[in-house]
Structure formats: C-alpha cells, structure tokens
Amino acid sequence: MNRIPRARRPCCCEDRSLRMPNRFPPSLRGGWYLCFWLSILLSMDHWAYVWYVIRETQSTDMLGQFHRVVSKRLFPAYPEPRTAVMADQRVFLTAASLSMGCAVFVLEAPLGAFLGWSWGAWVNWYFLFGAVAVFLQFHLAWRLCSERSIWCPGPPKEFLPPPNTAFLAALLWGLAGCVVCIWSSLAASGRFKSGYFFAYRCFGLTSGVAPNVPILLLTVALYGWALMQMKRATRVGVRRMFTERV
C-alpha cells in the first residue's frame, strides 16, 4: 500500500521572505521618498526661521546672521528678523505652517497601517519623524495665532467686531482639522481592510490612483497663496511707513 508523502515542514533557517508576502509596497522606492523628505526638510527650515523671527529676544551673533542670510535666499517673502510681525502676516504664516503640516501628515499617516513592534524597522522611524514635523508645524501655527490683535482689535475692555484676520484664521484651522480627521478615519478604517488598501495606494504617487496627490497639490497651492499674500503685506507695510514719513 502506497503512502501519501507528507508535506515537508520548512526549516527554521530558510528564508521566510519566500513564504510570506511582502508587507510593504515596493513603490516606496519612487516619488514617495522624495516628497516625504522634501516636505520634512522644508517644514523644519520654515519652523526654525519663523520661530526665530517671532520670539521676543533675537540674538545678534552668528545665528542671527545665518537667519538673515536664509531670509534673503530661501524665504524672501517672509518677515525679516528684528522686525515687528503684523497681524495679517501672522495669519499668512499660519497658512504656510498649516499647509506644510497637512502635507507631511498626508504623506506619513498611511505608515500607521504598517507599523510594527520592532524599532529597527524603518517604517517606525519614518512615522516618528513625520509625527514630530507635524507637531512642530501645528504648534507653530498655534503660537502665531495666539496674538490678541488677530482676534480682537482695540483695547481689552472695548468690544469691537472681529477683523478679517479672525475669520481667515478660523477658516484655516477648520480646513486643517478636516484634513486631519477625515484622513485619519480613512487610513484607520478596518471595514474589509479598506484602510490597509487605502494606505497602500497612498505610496504610489505616480500610479494614478494615489488619493493623497490632490491634497498635496492643494497644500502647495495654499503655500504659494500664503507667500504671495506675505509679499503683498510686506510691501504695504513699507509703503505705509514711507507715507507716514512724508
């Protein structure tokens, strides 16, 4: 009587990658890496320069000279160091900060579907870097909007209608909150593994089915609009200064 041969058990020394499917999408080698690191670097440069400008005490040593050079080369539309930042400029800087924060969040949020318990995995470190960048941008935006002149003009005891900067700041924060909440719900959805496949598609930026590409383009447009408005506000302030002298 012939016996049916049993299936050979795989040896513990065999490569498990031959038996287990790859959990990480191979398209991460493409444009996602470039967009992720460019957004991280630009957002950190933006945070460092704006934080230096809005703080009360600014150094006059080599660090101050470095930030003055950066303002002329990298951020020509931003307020220069050792100058008063007006309320409308703060709102436009808030728009730039929130646009960068949302861009980094849209890129790094899908990594949550691939997180593991091993700190040696690069996904965990990328997620940590992105989370820190998003936190710094949103904290900077909150610090910029904490100025009282944005929300309530005039003396403290006098009630005046809110200015246009208050409505614009509230709209920007509302849009940023919607992006964070909706994107988190889509990436964390467990219904029929839809969140996993949603996160998988987010890494193929050049595949034509990536859902984060339209959001990234909108954040770039918002950042460009903020730069244009900051340049306009700076020129208006310079013109007002010359007219007052005349």
Top pLDDT among 236 and 180 is at 180
pLDDT in tens, 185-212: 888 887 777 888 888 888 888 878 888 8
Closest CA to 51 of 128, 149, 127, 142: 142
pLDDT in tens, 205-226: 887 888 889 999 999 999 999 9
Q: CA 223 → CA 23, 31, 32, 172, distances in Å?
A: 34, 20, 20, 12
Angle between helices 87-108 and 213-245 (to 10 degrees): 170
pTM: predicted TM-score of the whole model, two decimal places: 0.79
pLDDT in tens, 63-119: 666 666 666 677 778 887 777 788 888 899 999 999 999 999 999 988 888 777 666
Q: Average of pLDDT values for 150-158?
A: 68
Stated length of the chain? 246
Closest CA to 183 of 145, 232, 218, 207: 218
The pLDDT assigned to 177 comes to 94
Question: Over pLDDT 70: what percentage of the chain?
Answer: 70
The pLDDT assigned to 16 comes to 40
Task: Kindly list the domain boundaries of the chain, sorted by start residue.
Answer: 28-234
